[in-house]
Structure 1
């Protein structure tokens, strides 16, 4: 039976229900299970497909976090960014995709390819496409957003490609301050140096990020790296 949301989101919903209605957690879990068509939570958890690492990234992020999503081309970093936004929309959060690379039509097509709830939720994702995207544009667009809003920036290395824009370091510092002040989650898709020699089963790391214009990688609070289907999450704080 297909669930209306990943298990980790259903668990979070049950915890909120338990807190708001002063219920024991097991009763709240069973109530959520019944809404999903199962007699009790244990049946739901045993018959459903376990969450993949990709589906659990949002649950590990908090307001004010700056997440780095790093991988070589073709290893799924942008699709993971869109997955995070879909999961945020599923929870009723504001979700925004800023892209200097894709058109809105291309982005919508890739969102639909994710399946699951993409058809129902895809239109709730805001897509901002412009070569003018910068920290100023992002901060202004997200002004007044509720805490927990999630935005993905595609991608880090071209934020300062135009000489008229501030340096990448200055933009990232402004974005960090804004995220912390407003409880917003910002995710930055990032390229990995093509010269990095990765062994089978390994993934890139912070030292492998391609940064033609230097920034302090310590500005990020979380990082997620992908390579050949392997996903590795790091808490950097």
Structure 2
């Protein structure tokens, strides 16, 4: 499948078209899809999903894994993480998206961007945008989650932003123990340090994670990094 630009570029073009033309995002996405030779964006996304990196990454995950998805802004790390959640739900599992960044409408827009109708998974998907998101909040929310549930945490560096929250290292260690005990998969979206230079390294790696506070990155089992349409995933240690 050959597109005129990487999928995240096409999505960015659709957002710009939506703003400029003052049309709904789904209409803008359909216009971009038509330019690529598809009647609707959902058809383009469905065709792309047969070779999507998210499916390949999900196949490598096992219950208890902590996964790190990192990229600079606008490179598709949120959509990749949401696609992992969708892969889990398609396999029969549940998913929950914890975010300190997005509204419910933002999340619906991102479902549209990956060509998925969230209503198809309304009994398996939960969206949590509480201001109180932290390790304790996540543990409480997932206390009764079935084994294999995928939880996306958006994003890693915000977990200890509130002074009353424990240190980041303490929170991630607690979440790792919890995930292994419950058989859950936790996907952490992560910022990349501004010092990362794509001119010298095509894709960021574990050394480029932005860490304003100390964190042992070997706590993560798998990593996925994105840049300019390239996706790389591997074991973290």
TM-score tier, shorter chain, comes to: 0.7 to 0.9
Distance 1:169 1:118, change over 3 A: same
Q: CA deviation at 1:122?
A: 5.8
Report whether the alignment pairs 1:91 with 2:96.
no
Structure 1: gaps spanning 5 or more residues? 1-46
Name the structure 1 match of 2:209: 209
Distance in 2, matches of 1:140 and 1:231, equals 33
**Aligned residue pairs: how many?**
191
Tell me the equivalent position of 1:120: 120
Give the whole-Å Cα distance in 2 for the aligned partners of 1:127 and 1:66.
19
Report the more deviating stretch, 111-120 or 205-214.
Answer: 111-120
Instruction: Show the counterpart of 2:170.
Output: 170
Indicate if the aligned counterparts of 2:93 and 2:148 stay in contact, CA closer than 8 A. Answer: yes
TM-score, structure 1 as length reference: 0.76
Q: Does 1:152 align with 2:152?
A: yes
Quickly say closer, same or farther: Cα 1:90–1:117, change in 2 above 3 A.
Answer: farther
The alpha-carbon distance between structure 1 residues 131 and 151, as it changes in their structure 2 partners (threshold 3 A), is same
- 1:66 matched to which residue of 2? 66
Stretches of structure 2 that go unaligned for 5 or more consecutive residues are: 1-46
1:17-96 maps to which residues of 2 (within 5 A)? 50-96=50-96
What RMSD, in angstroms, separates the aligned Cα atoms of the two structures?
A: 2.0
8 Å CA contact 1:54–1:231 kept in 2: the answer is no
2:23 maps to which residue? Answer: none
| Distance in 2 of aligned mates of 1:234 and 1:147 | 23
CA change 1:107–1:169 in 2 (3 A) is same
Aligned in 2, Cα 1:118/1:169: closer, same or farther, shift over 3 Å? same
Q: With structure 2 as the length reference, what TM-score do the two structures score?
A: 0.76
Q: In terms of Rg, which structure is larger? A: 1
* Contact 1:224 1:233 survives alignment (8 Å): yes
SS of 2:69 mapped into structure 1: strand
Runs of 4+ aligned residues of structure 1 deviating over 4 Å after TM superposition are: 47-50, 116-119
- Paired with 2:87 and 2:169, the residues of 1 have a C-alpha distance of 29
Tell me: CA distance 1:180–1:116, structure 2 relative to 1, closer, same or farther (3 Å).
same
- Give 1:184's aligned residue: 184
Q: Deviations over 1:36-59 (max 9, x none)?
A: xxxxxxxxxxx9985232332111
Q: Which moved more, 1:122-131 or 1:158-167?
A: 122-131
Determine the C-alpha separation between the residues in 1 that align with 2:83 and 2:128. Answer: 17
